[in-house]
Chain A
Amino acid sequence: MSIAADSLHVFTRELKPVLRDPFQLVFSLVQPLTFLALFGPLLSGTTGQPLSETFQWFVPGILVMVTLFGTAMTGSNLLYEIILGSHERMLVTPVSRAALLVGRACKEMVPLVVQAAVLCLIAAFFGFRPHIPGLLLGLILLAILGMGLGALSYALGIAARKEDWIFWAVQQTVLFPLMLLSGILLPLSQGPHWMEVISWFNPLTYLVDALRVLVEGDFADPAVWQGGIAAALVTAVGLAVGIRSMRRSL
């Protein structure tokens, strides 16, 4: 079988628990909805702008946050499958190691796009008015980013297979700085210069900027292609590292 066919089978397998139990998707919307409900009005009050305008700036960042937190945790599923034994069984099937990773990483795109769409719909009730083609392109960028972040999370899960606490320790250490240093919650231009400099090395920054211009329908803004390159780069690195890890995952 080809890698594409193998990956499709793995993708389908991974998607089944999500489709059988969609409540988990609803539950994972609690965190971003909390941010929208509590941080949105706070931001609106601080800036003195109406909530609808605040959401126009804030929602794209929340979509990137959903992508980051949703996909970063996924490696724990593989980690437990390694510990409990089902991953070993998968390794003895004829499916290639690359497909085992690619199929899993591709699956990450589905829940995050669904969640992002639901969030946009809810935000629309409070005045969020995205440019639809721009939003669709933004969701594609997020899907690509999610695949890369998912692949990295799987690689981390594999790396932590003998000491599972490492997975959670790295998550805790990395996720919040990544989020804060991407301008998801507040514009970094308002902070100290060194924070802005660090954010230039954070690929999420470019995705947040890209989504903010895309929901305004500004396709010509350089932030769009910069966001695309950042997403592609994360995915390329994620898949390379992830496939390499999968080959050594016993």
Chain B
Amino acid sequence: MELPAAITNLPKAPTGIRGLDDITGGGLPRGRPTLICGGPGCGKTLLAFETLARGAALYGEPGIFVSFEESPADLRINVANLAIDVADLEQRGLLLIEQISLDQGEVAEVGEYDLEGLFIRLGLLIDRIGAQRIVLDTIETLFSAFGNQNILRGELQRLFRWLRQRGLTAIITAERSGQGLSRFGIEEFVADCVILLDYRITEHVLTRYARIVKYRGSSHGVNEYPFTIGPRGITMLPITSFGLRYPVSAERISSGFPDLDQLLDGGGYYRGSTILVSGPTGSGKTSLGALFVAAACARGEPAIFFAFEESADQIARNLRSIGIDLQPWRDRGLLQIISSRPSLAGLETHLITLLEVVEQSGARAVVIDPITGFHTISRPVDITTMLFRLFDGLKSLGVTTLATSLTNAGADPAQSEVNISSLVDTWIVLRNHEANGERNRSLLVLKSRGMRHSNQVRELVMDANGLRLVDIYAAGETVLVGAARIAEQERLRHEYELRERETIQRQRRYALQQRLLSLQIEALQAELAALTDEMNADAALSEARAQAQIQSRLATSRYRDSTQEGSDGR
């Protein structure tokens, strides 16, 4: 929950309890008393103790637990599985558990008295460890030990004032009865913060609730917030606590299915994203989930497969039949297959258990198969809310989640899950195609935020060799899958071969023609050369003849000149 911090600058003492600090905007009022009321078995003592112990363990604030009822030994047993080392905190002087036993009904009262003895004792304890937090559980029992209510009310009022003056973050627990918040109206004195705990049983399932009745000087969540008491104490998951604040990763991780990675812009899913795989029975949802966790394990990342319909061994066996072997990852402790029936627990418990298991295991990839299993135990609106919180919670842990969703045959998946589609980053739709006496599967990436994904429907082929995606053949209006696709593929192959053969023949003919032409060119070239030779020879001959003619003409004229000179001289 986004709380407007500006409204209050009231100092807060974080409880360290997940979720509670969200709805209180940071914790309990620091240095002031808080009242926690509720009926028996509501978890008051645990909430108080956890706040104290976590305050000591996480924030180094020493705390005192003053029990007016339970013995410290009993209390230690009750909180033994909080994942907090109580003994260690006690040894380090960060935690003090003290019982103040009351002599029930053995005390005679004669005249005026006060509870200065209690103040002195608390003062001693506080000074002993320099306490900053204190729990008084359950201070109301004083009312059964002492008779004079007027004196008690006055003294309690003084006690709270005194605690406040000493700057102690105090938690007082009170038994709820009837109309009022507490049996003796203690809420009148402890006015800073009042938290009411309650539980209800619906459909044989117990759900615990917490509500902040009052928080002076601070804004706070006003709803009833469900919480669980789990193996690690109290967990509250405020519906809106996450408020869309999680780190966004640009890292891509494989879907474990190379063909699908290709459709997803070649890279697979975004790390920390939420993937929904929806489809009818037997369309391959679980297989996609299994491939995804197997790929995570192959990267060395721990993964969890939550199975709400089948047992772990059943899933492992079924996947082996399509060539996916999860056993090695299970043996190496990387993969957990957690199988449970949705009806075994309430929605809230499922949600918190799931998140707790994921967080503890440090899993990086989670499969929930299927999320639709919860429809058997709850109303759709509750499931949507739960999924909202679940996906948010997983996202804030940086976990990549793949959830499967069963759609009814015939229903349009894009319609039936419209209420959760906004929650998921990548939505893969699987369909069954029944035609020509056989059933085949197809896969479509309906949406995938932040990447250019394929918009093409592919046929999903599953056999002993694993999963493959093949292009779908469309003949006119109909999509061809299975045998029809194979027939179409054959026809197309024949056509192609025929064309191929024709081309080769044509090529051969061209080459022949080319060779013929070049031969012809060669012959003509030779002819041309011969002709040139002949032409040159002829020209030389003519020249020689012309020279000879000139020479003879010169000789003739020289002869005629010499004879003409002799006759003239007589």
A complexed with B: no
